[in-house]
Amino acid sequence: MHGVFEPTDLRIIQEVYDRMASEPWFSDGVSYREEFARYVLGMYRRGLVIPEKLEALCKIAAWKKFRATKSIFEGFRFLIVEDDYLMAREATERLTVLGAEIAGPVPSVAEAVDLVEHGHELDGALLDINLGGQTVYPVAAMLKMKQVPFAFVTAYEDRVLPAFFRSTKVFTKPASWETIVSDLARERIAYRSRIRPLRRHAS
Protein backbone atom coordinates (compact mmCIF):
# COMPACT_ATOMS: atom_id res chain seq x y z
CA MET A 1 0.00 0.00 0.00
CA HIS A 2 1.43 3.35 -1.04
CA GLY A 3 0.34 6.97 -1.21
CA VAL A 4 -2.09 8.89 0.95
CA PHE A 5 -4.11 6.98 3.54
CA GLU A 6 -7.88 7.15 3.50
CA PRO A 7 -9.73 8.13 6.70
CA THR A 8 -10.69 4.47 7.23
CA ASP A 9 -7.03 3.46 7.06
CA LEU A 10 -6.02 6.12 9.56
CA ARG A 11 -8.78 5.07 11.94
CA ILE A 12 -7.62 1.44 11.93
CA ILE A 13 -4.00 2.45 12.52
CA GLN A 14 -4.96 4.87 15.31
CA GLU A 15 -7.19 2.32 17.06
CA VAL A 16 -4.50 -0.36 17.03
CA TYR A 17 -1.92 2.10 18.35
CA ASP A 18 -4.26 3.40 21.07
CA ARG A 19 -5.10 -0.09 22.33
CA MET A 20 -1.46 -1.08 22.61
CA ALA A 21 -0.35 2.25 24.10
CA SER A 22 -3.03 1.97 26.80
CA GLU A 23 -1.64 -1.33 28.09
CA PRO A 24 -0.26 -0.95 31.64
CA TRP A 25 3.03 -2.48 30.54
CA PHE A 26 3.59 -0.18 27.54
CA SER A 27 6.49 2.27 27.84
CA ASP A 28 5.77 5.90 28.75
CA GLY A 29 8.82 7.06 26.81
CA VAL A 30 7.91 9.52 24.04
CA SER A 31 10.57 8.21 21.67
CA TYR A 32 9.38 4.62 22.18
CA ARG A 33 5.78 5.62 21.49
CA GLU A 34 6.75 7.51 18.35
CA GLU A 35 8.79 4.55 17.12
CA PHE A 36 5.89 2.18 17.80
CA ALA A 37 3.50 4.47 15.90
CA ARG A 38 5.86 4.31 12.92
CA TYR A 39 5.99 0.52 13.27
CA VAL A 40 2.19 0.20 13.16
CA LEU A 41 2.06 2.53 10.16
CA GLY A 42 4.77 0.53 8.40
CA MET A 43 3.03 -2.80 8.95
CA TYR A 44 -0.22 -1.39 7.57
CA ARG A 45 1.59 0.08 4.57
CA ARG A 46 3.06 -3.37 3.85
CA GLY A 47 -0.42 -4.79 3.46
CA LEU A 48 -1.35 -5.96 6.95
CA VAL A 49 -4.73 -4.21 6.74
CA ILE A 50 -7.00 -6.62 8.64
CA PRO A 51 -7.36 -4.96 12.08
CA GLU A 52 -7.24 -8.18 14.12
CA LYS A 53 -4.11 -9.45 12.38
CA LEU A 54 -2.43 -6.04 12.53
CA GLU A 55 -3.14 -5.79 16.26
CA ALA A 56 -1.92 -9.34 16.95
CA LEU A 57 1.43 -8.71 15.25
CA CYS A 58 1.86 -5.26 16.78
CA LYS A 59 1.11 -6.64 20.25
CA ILE A 60 3.97 -9.12 19.90
CA ALA A 61 6.31 -6.34 18.78
CA ALA A 62 5.11 -4.02 21.55
CA TRP A 63 5.69 -6.68 24.21
CA LYS A 64 9.17 -7.53 22.93
CA LYS A 65 10.48 -4.05 22.23
CA PHE A 66 8.29 -1.29 23.64
CA ARG A 67 7.24 -2.41 27.11
CA ALA A 68 8.43 -0.52 30.16
CA THR A 69 11.70 -1.72 31.62
CA LYS A 70 10.42 -1.45 35.19
CA SER A 71 8.25 -4.12 36.77
CA ILE A 72 5.05 -3.54 34.85
CA PHE A 73 2.59 -4.50 37.57
CA GLU A 74 4.51 -3.05 40.48
CA GLY A 75 2.09 -1.82 43.13
CA PHE A 76 -0.73 -4.14 42.05
CA ARG A 77 -1.95 -6.91 44.35
CA PHE A 78 -3.79 -9.83 42.76
CA LEU A 79 -5.65 -12.66 44.45
CA ILE A 80 -5.21 -16.10 42.89
CA VAL A 81 -7.87 -18.71 43.68
CA GLU A 82 -6.87 -22.02 42.09
CA ASP A 83 -7.00 -25.61 43.35
CA ASP A 84 -4.60 -27.00 40.74
CA TYR A 85 -1.18 -26.74 42.40
CA LEU A 86 0.84 -26.54 39.19
CA MET A 87 -1.47 -23.96 37.64
CA ALA A 88 -1.42 -21.86 40.81
CA ARG A 89 2.36 -22.00 40.97
CA GLU A 90 2.71 -21.06 37.30
CA ALA A 91 0.43 -18.04 37.71
CA THR A 92 2.16 -16.94 40.91
CA GLU A 93 5.66 -17.23 39.46
CA ARG A 94 4.77 -15.45 36.23
CA LEU A 95 2.97 -12.54 37.88
CA THR A 96 5.70 -12.17 40.49
CA VAL A 97 8.26 -11.84 37.70
CA LEU A 98 6.07 -9.09 36.23
CA GLY A 99 6.24 -7.20 39.52
CA ALA A 100 2.83 -7.98 40.99
CA GLU A 101 2.20 -8.81 44.63
CA ILE A 102 0.23 -12.02 45.12
CA ALA A 103 -2.46 -12.78 47.68
CA GLY A 104 -2.57 -16.57 48.02
CA PRO A 105 -2.74 -18.62 46.00
CA VAL A 106 -5.57 -20.36 47.84
CA PRO A 107 -7.39 -23.54 46.74
CA SER A 108 -10.76 -23.15 48.47
CA VAL A 109 -13.74 -20.84 48.75
CA ALA A 110 -13.34 -20.50 52.52
CA GLU A 111 -9.71 -19.39 52.30
CA ALA A 112 -10.49 -16.97 49.48
CA VAL A 113 -13.38 -15.44 51.42
CA ASP A 114 -11.09 -14.96 54.41
CA LEU A 115 -8.49 -13.15 52.29
CA VAL A 116 -11.10 -10.90 50.68
CA GLU A 117 -12.64 -10.05 54.06
CA HIS A 118 -9.53 -9.69 56.20
CA GLY A 119 -6.54 -9.36 53.87
CA HIS A 120 -4.92 -6.30 52.34
CA GLU A 121 -6.68 -4.31 49.64
CA LEU A 122 -6.82 -6.13 46.30
CA ASP A 123 -6.46 -4.72 42.80
CA GLY A 124 -7.84 -7.77 41.03
CA ALA A 125 -8.47 -11.49 41.25
CA LEU A 126 -8.04 -14.57 39.07
CA LEU A 127 -10.70 -17.13 39.95
CA ASP A 128 -10.87 -20.79 39.01
CA ILE A 129 -14.58 -21.59 38.84
CA ASN A 130 -14.62 -25.16 40.17
CA LEU A 131 -12.84 -25.65 43.49
CA GLY A 132 -13.07 -29.22 44.71
CA GLY A 133 -16.78 -29.54 44.04
CA GLN A 134 -17.63 -25.97 45.07
CA THR A 135 -17.98 -22.97 42.79
CA VAL A 136 -16.08 -19.75 43.34
CA TYR A 137 -19.17 -17.58 42.88
CA PRO A 138 -19.47 -16.51 46.56
CA VAL A 139 -15.95 -15.08 46.31
CA ALA A 140 -16.81 -13.37 43.03
CA ALA A 141 -19.91 -11.82 44.59
CA MET A 142 -17.84 -10.37 47.44
CA LEU A 143 -15.31 -8.94 45.01
CA LYS A 144 -18.07 -7.40 42.93
CA MET A 145 -19.56 -5.72 45.99
CA LYS A 146 -16.12 -4.34 46.86
CA GLN A 147 -15.67 -3.21 43.23
CA VAL A 148 -12.53 -5.29 42.80
CA PRO A 149 -12.12 -6.43 39.17
CA PHE A 150 -11.84 -10.16 38.60
CA ALA A 151 -11.81 -12.74 35.83
CA PHE A 152 -12.77 -16.39 35.71
CA VAL A 153 -10.16 -18.90 34.57
CA THR A 154 -11.56 -22.31 33.68
CA ALA A 155 -10.76 -25.50 31.82
CA TYR A 156 -14.29 -25.68 30.41
CA GLU A 157 -14.84 -23.68 27.22
CA ASP A 158 -18.63 -24.08 27.30
CA ARG A 159 -19.10 -23.11 30.94
CA VAL A 160 -22.40 -21.25 31.46
CA LEU A 161 -22.19 -18.47 34.04
CA PRO A 162 -24.98 -17.31 36.35
CA ALA A 163 -26.74 -14.19 35.06
CA PHE A 164 -25.10 -12.06 37.78
CA PHE A 165 -21.67 -12.74 36.25
CA ARG A 166 -22.50 -12.76 32.54
CA SER A 167 -20.45 -9.60 31.95
CA THR A 168 -17.35 -11.07 33.63
CA LYS A 169 -14.49 -12.07 31.36
CA VAL A 170 -13.76 -15.79 31.15
CA PHE A 171 -10.35 -17.16 30.12
CA THR A 172 -9.78 -20.78 29.16
CA LYS A 173 -6.81 -22.71 30.53
CA PRO A 174 -3.99 -22.73 29.64
CA ALA A 175 -4.24 -18.99 30.09
CA SER A 176 -2.06 -15.99 29.28
CA TRP A 177 -1.55 -14.53 32.74
CA GLU A 178 -0.19 -11.28 31.28
CA THR A 179 -3.35 -10.77 29.23
CA ILE A 180 -5.63 -11.43 32.20
CA VAL A 181 -3.90 -9.11 34.64
CA SER A 182 -3.49 -6.42 31.96
CA ASP A 183 -7.28 -6.36 31.66
CA LEU A 184 -7.72 -6.31 35.43
CA ALA A 185 -5.11 -3.57 35.86
CA ARG A 186 -6.85 -1.38 33.27
CA GLU A 187 -10.15 -1.80 35.12
CA ARG A 188 -8.51 -0.94 38.43
CA ILE A 189 -6.79 2.14 37.02
CA ALA A 190 -10.10 3.33 35.56
CA TYR A 191 -11.79 2.77 38.94
CA ARG A 192 -9.09 4.73 40.77
CA SER A 193 -9.43 7.62 38.34
CA ARG A 194 -13.18 7.72 39.00
CA ILE A 195 -13.02 7.67 42.79
CA ARG A 196 -10.08 10.07 43.19
CA PRO A 197 -12.14 13.21 42.39
CA LEU A 198 -14.92 11.94 44.68
CA ARG A 199 -12.48 11.55 47.58
CA ARG A 200 -11.09 15.04 47.02
CA HIS A 201 -14.60 16.46 46.97
CA ALA A 202 -15.55 14.58 50.15
CA SER A 203 -12.50 15.90 52.00
3-class DSSP state of 100: coil
Considering the domain architecture, whether residues 87 and 160 belong to the same structural domain is answered as yes
Residue 18 burial (10 A CB sphere; 0-12, 13-18, 19+) = exposed
Considering the domain architecture, whether residues 81 and 181 belong to the same structural domain is answered as yes
201 belongs to a structural domain:
no
Please, which residues have CB within 8 angstroms of residue 162's CB and are 6 or more apart in sequence?
Answer: 137
164, HSE (Cβ side, Cα atoms, 13 Å): 9
Considering the domain architecture, whether residues 100 and 60 belong to the same structural domain is answered as no
Kindly give the confidence (pLDDT) of every residue in the chain, 203 residues in length, as a single tens digit, with 9 standing for 90 and above: 445 778 899 999 999 999 888 877 787 777 778 888 999 999 999 988 999 999 988 888 887 777 765 566 878 899 999 999 999 999 998 888 788 899 999 999 999 999 999 988 899 999 999 998 899 999 999 999 999 999 999 887 666 788 888 889 899 888 888 888 888 888 888 777 776 554 444 54
Please, which residues have CB within 8 angstroms of residue 21's CB and are 6 or more apart in sequence?
Answer: 33, 36
Considering the domain architecture, whether residues 155 and 181 belong to the same structural domain is answered as yes
